[in-house]
Amino acid sequence: MHFKETILPVFIFCLIALHMLVFEQGMSGDGWGYYAITESIVADGDFNLDNNIYGVYNGLTKDNQTGRWLTQYPPGTSILDAPFFYAATKTAQKLNLQFEPLTLPETSSVKQLPPSAIPGIVGVILAHNFYALAGLLFIFFTLRINGFSSVSSALIVFAGYLASPLHFYGQSGMSHAGSFCILSVILWLFARIVRSHKIWIWFWIGLLCALATAVRLPNAVMACIAFLAILYMSIDRKIKSIFLLASGFVCLIWIIPLFYFFHAGQFGSSYSGSFFFDRAPLINILFSTQRGFMVFHPFFLLVIPGIIFYIASKKFSSDSKIVATFAFFSAIILSAIYGYYGEWWGSGSYSQRYLTDVTGLFIVCLASVYKSKKIVKFSVIAFTVATILFSYGLFIVSISRTIDFPNGDIWALNIFDFKYLFEQNITGKDIITGLKNNVYGIKGLIYLLKRI
């Protein structure tokens, strides 16, 4: 019993951490944009990014008057990365680590890194691994609150990790790992307040909603959802709860306009993304063959029977139903917002990256199906294994970069683009060779160890 309830979950999370280490993807395009903010503020002590750009200009535009590069990104990801950046750079100084200019593979958008940047980049990469793992851990805690055993919770989280795009975007330097982590913590806090009725938790939910907004602006809707939850729930002192939620949100939200003011002399982002409201947003972002989340990651189709079973079944307490409903509506509303976005498919990126953030919410929604009757549970487990193999197989093929997709793209835009795997006569040996050449985790670890 001790092994099953304690050791096995610990082993599963260690396995996830090991997977992150082995399949580390390094910094992606947007990741370099966030890194520039972190390095500028922490290392240089200013808001001028001009000397913190390493050949990637994602999210950057040149100001016509000053000639400076201005970022569209909010500061939240850099706030999350800053402690890791600082610790890594100070550790490198303390140990007197010596680095040479690092030449990256041809597939990288950055060709060479100066020695001074390497410790900070390693710190940021570790930060995103940490936040992805921490987010999964908080989803585990939420499932435990909702009545699942330690083993069941760990296995469900493990399945969700392998079957989702988190195993890619949890390690890319982009904003998705931090956003995923914060939304997972918000859900955990909500589950706690539903059970304990300690209204002071609303303050922390408001604070985290503001931090989530500073990471990715659409997350501001979480504060509205939390406000509606207070109105809906049968709790005492609603006015005080709303005040605590609003107070927490206001305590931190001011950092966004303040950052833009010091950086660009304005109180908002220069981002000019377009939203179109003449479409069915959920059909596109969830079910389209063009990077639809549940097409590339069909494991999450279990969300539909999962939320129904949560609400209809007598196996779950009213508190568990409230937590699952909160998770479901949060995930669906955020999905709809991204579905209205002009480039809802994620432009030149791997899979459906926008919904990486709500992966944890979806995991909680679908968990109920694993408490169904034995015959149904067997079918659910078989479906889980099959969909994990499918999505994880796409992940392995994609990061090996062995397929020449149409128009020179390195990532599949449409699920049917993977047919080129068979048309180009790619073998298992080709994929293994591709992984050796394009997976940076172990290679990077060996590089660092040689310099200690």
The three state secondary structure string of the chain is CHHHHHHHHHHHHHHHHHHHHHCCCCCCHHHHHHHHHHHHHHHHCCCCCHHHCCCCCCCEEECCCCCCEEECCCCHHHHHHHHHHHHHHHHHHHCCCCCCCEECCCCCCCCEECHHHHHHHHHHHHHHHHHHHHHHHHHHHHHHHCCCCHHHHHHHHHHHHHHCCHHHHCCCCCCHHHHHHHHHHHHHHHHHHHHHCCCCHHHHHHHHHHHHHHHCHHHHHHHHHHHHHHHHCCCCCHHHHHHHHHHHHHHHHCHHHHHHHHHHCCCCCCCCCCECCCCCHHHHHHHCCCCCHHHHCHHHHHHHHHHHHHHHCCCCCHHHHHHHHHHHHHHHHHHHHHHHECCCCCCCCCCCHHHHCCHHHHHHHHHHHHHCCHHHHHHHHHHHHHHHHHHHHHHHHHHHCCCCCHHHCCCCCCHHHHHHHHHCCCCHHHHHHHHHHHCCHHHHHHHHHCCC
pLDDT digits (tens, 9 = 90+) for 81-127: 999 999 999 999 998 888 877 766 555 566 677 888 889 998 999 99
What pLDDT band is residue 270 in, cutting at 50, 70 and 90?
Answer: confident
pLDDT digits (tens, 9 = 90+) for 305-357: 999 999 998 899 999 999 999 999 999 999 999 999 988 988 888 899 999 99
Bigger pLDDT: 272 or 95?
95
Bigger pLDDT: 449 or 245?
245
pLDDT at 236: 78
Which amino acid, one-letter code, is at 428? G
Q: CA 261, CA 256: separation in Å to the nearest integer?
A: 9
Would you say residue 359 has pLDDT above 80?
yes
Q: Tokens 């079918």, residue?
A: 379
Q: Residue 192 corresponds to which tokens in the numbers above?
A: 């706690």
Q: Tokens 């969300």, residue?
A: 303
Do the Cβ atoms of 104 and 55 come closer than 8 Å? no
Do the Cβ atoms of 70 and 76 come closer than 8 Å? no
Bigger pLDDT: 410 or 130?
130
What pLDDT band is residue 447 in, cutting at 50, 70 and 90?
Answer: low
Do the Cβ atoms of 231 and 257 come closer than 8 Å? no
Point out the least confidently predicted range of 46-60, 103-117, 263-277.
103-117
Do the Cβ atoms of 316 and 146 come closer than 8 Å? yes
What sign results for the dihedral spanned by CA atoms 414, 308, 355, 335? positive
Would you say residue 132 has pLDDT above 90?
yes
Would you say residue 234 has pLDDT above 90?
no
pLDDT at 434: 85
**CA geometry: angle 142, 370, 312, nearest 5 deg:** 85
Percent of the chain at pLDDT > 70 equals: 94
What pLDDT band is residue 362 in, cutting at 50, 70 and 90?
Answer: very high
pLDDT digits (tens, 9 = 90+) for 12-31: 999 999 999 888 877 877 88
Percent of the chain at pLDDT > 90 equals: 62
pLDDT at 104: 63
